[in-house]
Homo-oligomer: A and B are copies of this chain.
Amino acid sequence: MGRPAQISQDDLIAAATLVAARLGPAAASIAAISKAAGVPTGSIYHRVPSRDALLAEIWLSAAERFQALALETFAAVRTIEEAAEAALITPRFAREHHADAVVLNSHRREEFIRADAPEEYRARAVRLGTEMRDGIGQVAARLLPGDPKGKEKTAVALIGIPLGAVRVFLPQAVPPVEIDAAIAAAVRAALGGT
């Protein structure tokens, strides 16, 4: 079976995520990542075909982790009060998965998934975007039926506001729990409740 690997592909992505979160995707060079992972540069290419692919995996694995949680939560939202509670997944995720949150929140997707990235990765990213828009659209249909800008307002409330609040503290710190009440209140207000 050959010589055993020092790290798994998941370990590699985790190490690369940490580097990208700390230094930014542009500075996440193969040299920096291999040093952080504790393996020689050549070994990286036994796990992923290229740096572009690795950068894409960093973003996609973080995004898929967040989105699975978000969509499941949003699907259950029937009232503005439930929406206010659901919006708190964003600060909670940032506390539990700091590096992922920094990757998603303090950087642009386009810097991880370039215009010339392999089609496979672009497709996964597009699917995530579509799924999120659908999920938001369904919440909007339930909470603000008939409002022509209901989708935009719901996106601002469920995504924009909590993300913005969290971003005041990222990437250095973790958002303090005290801001959760402010986020919930802001979401209620943005959706027109009380």
Residues of A within 8 A of B (CB): 23-26, 106-108, 110-111, 149, 152-153, 155-157, 159-169, 171, 176, 178-179, 182-183, 185-192, 194
Contacts and interface: CB of A to CB of B under 8 A. Distances in A.
B183 A156 contact: yes
A168 B155 CA distance: 7
Nearest to A158: B168
A118 to B, nearest CB: 18
23 contacts: A107-B108, A108-B171, A149-B176, A149-B179, A152-B169, A152-B176, A153-B178, A153-B179, A153-B182, A156-B164, A156-B168, A160-B164, A160-B165, A161-B161, A161-B186, A162-B164, A164-B164, A164-B165, A182-B189, A182-B192, A185-B186, A185-B192, A186-B190
Contacts of A163: 164, 167
Contacts of A183: 156, 190
Contacts of A25: 26
Secondary structure at chain A's binding surface: helix, strand, loop or mixed?
helix
A179 B152 contact: yes
Given A106-B108, A164-B161, A179 B156 contact: yes
A89 to B, nearest CB: 14
| A-B residue pairs, 10 tightest by C-beta | A164-B164, A189-B189, A26-B26, A186-B186, A185-B189, A182-B190, A160-B168, A160-B164, A160-B165, A186-B190
Contacts of A189: 182, 185-186, 188-190
A160 B24 CA distance: 21
A62 to B, nearest CB: 16
A152 B167 CA distance: 12
A174 B174 CA distance: 29
Contacts of A176: 149, 152
Contacts of A168: 152, 155-156, 159-160
